[in-house]
């Protein structure tokens, strides 16, 4: 992630592109952690484990979304305090 930030020249401080930086980090995080629960909920519904319920997949998806939001919040807080 930091290599992409350096490549595009996104600043680390609360400058003009701070929102763009958060959006890029959020999209990268979503692309990494969300495909499995989304596929289990839609395309792979018939092929998933018999003991995995819809509630389990919903909880997995909700937890990952909260993790992304929390990670962005903590990252933005640390970024604004350090830089």
pLDDT recorded at residue 14 = 59
What is the C-alpha separation between 63 and 79, in angstroms, rounded? 24
pLDDT recorded at residue 69 = 95
pLDDT per position as a tens digit, 6-48: 566 655 555 667 778 888 889 999 999 999 999 988 898 888 8
What is the C-alpha separation between 8 and 13, in angstroms, rounded? 15
Encode burial over 43-52: b for 16+ CB neighbours within 10 A, e otherwise: eeeeeeeeee
Lowest mean pLDDT among 44-48, 63-67, 68-72: 44-48
């Amino acid at each position: 992630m930091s290599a992409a930030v350096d490549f595009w020249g996104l600043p680390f401080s609360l400058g003009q592109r701070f929102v763009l930086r958060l959006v890029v980090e959020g999209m990268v995080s979503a692309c990494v952690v969300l495909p499995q629960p989304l596929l289990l909920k839609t395309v792979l519904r018939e092929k998933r484990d018999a003991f995995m319920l819809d509630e389990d997949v919903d909880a997995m998806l909700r937890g990952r979304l909260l993790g992304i939001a929390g990670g962005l919040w903590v990252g933005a807080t640390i970024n604004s305090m350090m830089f």
